[in-house]
Structure 1
Amino acid sequence: MTDPIPAGPAEKLRAAAAARPEGATAAVVLADGTVLWGRGVGAFGSRVGEVCFNTSMTGYQEILTDPSYAGQIITFTFPHVGNVGTNAEDVETTTPAARGLILRADVTEPSNWRATRHLDEWLKSYDLVGITGVDTRRLTRLIRDGGAPNGVVAHAPDGRLDLEALWRQAAEWPGLEGMDLAREVSCRQTYTWSETLWDLGSGYGTQDAPTRHVVALDFGAKRNILRCLAAAGCRVTVLPATATAEEVIAQKPDGVFLSNGPGDPAATGAYAVPTVRGLLDSGVPMFGICLGHQILSLALGGRTEKMDRGHRGANHPVKDLATGQVEITSQNHGFVVVPESLPPEAEVTHVSLFDGTNEGIKVKDRPVFSVQYHPEASPGPQDSHYLFKRFMDLIDSRGS
């Protein structure tokens, strides 16, 4: 026998059922009982996760295939998603880990010379459930004011949706705090990467004359990050998230890269933090981004905490404290490093101009640094590409 639904959510569910619009084939049901009706797109069924929002105006295919979105349902604040279609090149991982998507406008026919598939067909092929016709401005305000809620996005072609069952899915989902998702999206075995950045007219290139060897620990690495490393002159060896320091060092790397990824960094830290501590002791140059930045901070003795709404979009201003320069960055994270918890040897290098949160650190006595944002810019501005050169300079200076 199931427990009765609390009065607040029960009242919202009853009101939503009575106000269901004609033609609705999909709904978003939040853990507080809020229901947003719409029209389904993509696969059929229901998916539960944390409902977040992304403010990017371009790059929806890259966003949907970013492994850092594991466990999340993405609300796009930009209304026209699907207008440029999809293709086989603009993907960041083989199997998307996002739980679903929420859109304002209906998906139109693609209008772009690179498009090979309609977004709806592409979503079905990856079993991604979506909804259109939602007031995404209202939903974004709910997230902004109350934090990212647990929710369900459901799509039934016949329009039959059991709101009570969907609410229970949302209410019973444990949430991302304490959840280790990096292990789920990481590669299962070691592999090498040589593909370089995309170029108009020729597509992706190949690095066939590398001058450095970088080992990338895959906590959910995006392909364009690996392309940036290869384009910088690296032979890239990718290891699973659970690799030990001894396994990394056995590859004889010139540098180690700590990738982005999803989930709670403290949960991932059960296996990754000891590895990074061992690598810190080895003296090998290291560069971390996003989850890699958080894991490095934990390895140094710092602490991370859950953010109410997170940073997701391609328009986040970040200040470099050393130069005073401001770069517009691409971001996707729901946890943040607490700067007051960092030891004296860790120097804060970058801060967010949106909310003052930590965006980067360096280790004073070692060739190690990290940033919270995504310098590979896929999608997003390329203001932060200089960080890959900074990493190469650290590697080269150690070898000279």
Structure 2
Amino acid sequence: MKAALILEDGTRFLGESFGYYEEIVGEVVFNTSMTGYQEVFTDPSYYGQIVNMTYPMIGNYGINTEEMESTKPQLNALIVREAAKNPSNWRCEMNIEGYLKLNKVVGLEGIDTRALTKLIRNAGTMKGIITTDVEMSQEVLEKKLSTFNNKPGVMDVSTNKTVEIEGEGPHVAIIDLGLNKNLLKSFTKENCRVTIFSADTTAEDILNVNPDGIFLSNGPGNPKDIPEVLENIKRLIGVKPMMGVCLGYQLLALALGGNTLKMKYGHRGGNHPVKDLSTNKVYITSQNHGYVVEESSLPEEVKVSHRNMNDGTMEGLVYEKQQILGVQFRPELSSGSHSTAYILDKFIDKL
């Protein structure tokens, strides 16, 4: 059926509904990945977002249920130029339309995704709605967009129970802010013993299991929206070695006295060049974030470890005295280059 994406500034993109349909509101962002779309669908960091894929055809190798980052899709809706109807791959179990229908995720295809991307890039990230009411008035639009609130995102995607995974290596306590399956695999393949805690677990309960180190996972939204989680992290600083990625890295920076800022349109995709300042090597990284650590806000003893080569933003920190490190990108990388897995190895070696 005919459907439209209507942005908060009133811009309308007309297309066709596919997959599941319901009227849906979210933050409209774009992702520049050419492959790895099913990892994007199931990445908890996309919770609450309407994701516009810049690559013109999505779904050409179909869906296989083994390579998911979580148990279900996490994004609010998917926008593509063209959804592949007849995928070709020996591991394909279904096409993306069937997958979206099965999981009740809204899809919109046939719009000018290039024009949408350029608009977001120039004007910044906006809220939007996918609807069949293509003539919706501005007054109704504003009322419906005002209902969107992604502040509960972290608690919605976090585990609701403590999970223990046996291993003979170092004991890692993971605070689940929206943990990706491949991040967990990175620790279990090194035979680490892992205890996964919900995002709101107290510092005391985490320290009661006496882990060798504490890891803060990726997750959705603004790090300042979860002050209770931040307070618990502050109580863990300096007690055990710590590492954070993505949202976890931003929370570490806040806990160390730094500040975070909302980016104009964020970094989302599998092709972001980042330099390791200790080696001067540049890596192509997988990223998904809309906030950045303000470099000048950090205490002098906290050093910048990585820098984005496109816009110069800070992509990593290290605080040797407290045995803390963090990166803004995804070192476990699925899908993407595997060259930054050394950062997780550094953390495990510390333990």
Indicate which of 24, 27, 34 corresponds to 1:47.
24
- Report the Cα distance in structure 1 between the residues aligned to 2:4 and 2:156, rounded to whole angstroms: 27
Distance change in 2, residues 1:169/1:64 (3 Å):
farther
What is the count of residue pairs matched by the alignment? 350
- Report the Cα distance in structure 2 between the residues aligned to 1:389 and 1:364, rounded to whole angstroms: 16
Q: Report whether the alignment pairs 1:278 with 2:197.
A: no
Q: Report whether the alignment pairs 1:190 with 2:137.
A: no
Q: Per the alignment, in what secondary structure is the counterpart of residue 276 of structure 1?
A: helix
Q: Per the alignment, in what secondary structure is the counterpart of residue 280 of structure 1?
A: coil
Q: Please state how far the C-alpha of 1:161 moved relative to its aligned partner.
A: 4.8
Q: Report whether the alignment pairs 1:364 with 2:320.
A: yes
- Report the Cα distance in structure 2 between the residues aligned to 1:183 and 1:88, rounded to whole angstroms: 25
Q: Please state how far the C-alpha of 1:281 moved relative to its aligned partner.
A: 3.2
Q: Per the alignment, in what secondary structure is the counterpart of residue 55 of structure 2?
A: coil
Q: Per the alignment, in what secondary structure is the counterpart of residue 164 of structure 2?
A: strand
Distance change in 2, residues 1:38/1:357 (3 Å):
same
Q: Report whether the alignment pairs 1:25 with 2:2.
A: yes
Percent of pairs identical after alignment?
Answer: 43
Q: Please state how far the C-alpha of 1:364 moved relative to its aligned partner.
A: 2.7
Distance change in 2, residues 1:33/1:125 (3 Å):
same
Query: Which letter does structure 2 place at the counterpart of 1:279?
Result: L
The question of whether the paired residues in 2 share the 8 Å contact of 1:49 and 1:173 is answered with no
Counterpart in the other structure of 1:197:
none
Q: Per the alignment, in what secondary structure is the counterpart of residue 306 of structure 1?
A: strand
Q: Please state how far the C-alpha of 1:96 moved relative to its aligned partner.
A: 2.4
Counterpart in the other structure of 1:98:
75
Query: Which letter does structure 1 place at the counterpart of 2:232?
Result: T
- Report the Cα distance in structure 2 between the residues aligned to 1:106 and 1:322, rounded to whole angstroms: 42
Q: Is there any run of 5+ residues in structure 1 with no aligned partner, and where?
A: 1-23, 195-208, 396-400
Counterpart in the other structure of 2:346:
390
Counterpart in the other structure of 2:153:
181
Q: Which stretch of the first structure deviates more once superposed, 113-122 or 330-339?
A: 113-122
Structure 1 segments of 4 or more deviating over 2 A?
160-176
The question of whether the paired residues in 2 share the 8 Å contact of 1:28 and 1:37 is answered with yes
The question of whether the paired residues in 2 share the 8 Å contact of 1:63 and 1:379 is answered with no
- Report the Cα distance in structure 2 between the residues aligned to 1:31 and 1:73, rounded to whole angstroms: 13
Query: Which letter does structure 1 place at the counterpart of 2:97?
Result: D
Q: Which stretch of the first structure deviates more once superposed, 88-97 or 54-63?
A: 88-97
Q: Per the alignment, in what secondary structure is the counterpart of residue 279 of structure 1?
A: coil
Q: Is there any run of 5+ residues in structure 2 with no aligned partner, and where?
A: none
Indicate which of 190, 196, 216 corresponds to 2:174.
216
- Report the Cα distance in structure 2 between the residues aligned to 1:30 and 1:233, rounded to whole angstroms: 47
The question of whether the paired residues in 2 share the 8 Å contact of 1:151 and 1:170 is answered with no
Tell me which structure has the larger Cα radius of gyration: 1
Over aligned residue pairs, what C-alpha RMSD do you find? 1.6
- Report the Cα distance in structure 1 between the residues aligned to 2:305 and 2:212, rounded to whole angstroms: 23
Counterpart in the other structure of 1:355:
311
- Report the Cα distance in structure 2 between the residues aligned to 1:169 and 1:136, rounded to whole angstroms: 26
| TM-score normalised by structure 2 residue count | 0.96
Query: Which letter does structure 2 place at the counterpart of 1:345?
Result: E
Q: Deviations over 1:338-397 (max 9, x none)?
A: 0100012211111100111110001131211000011111221112111111011111xx
| TM-score normalised by structure 1 residue count | 0.84
Counterpart in the other structure of 1:203:
none
Indicate which of 37, 41, 45 corresponds to 2:14.
37
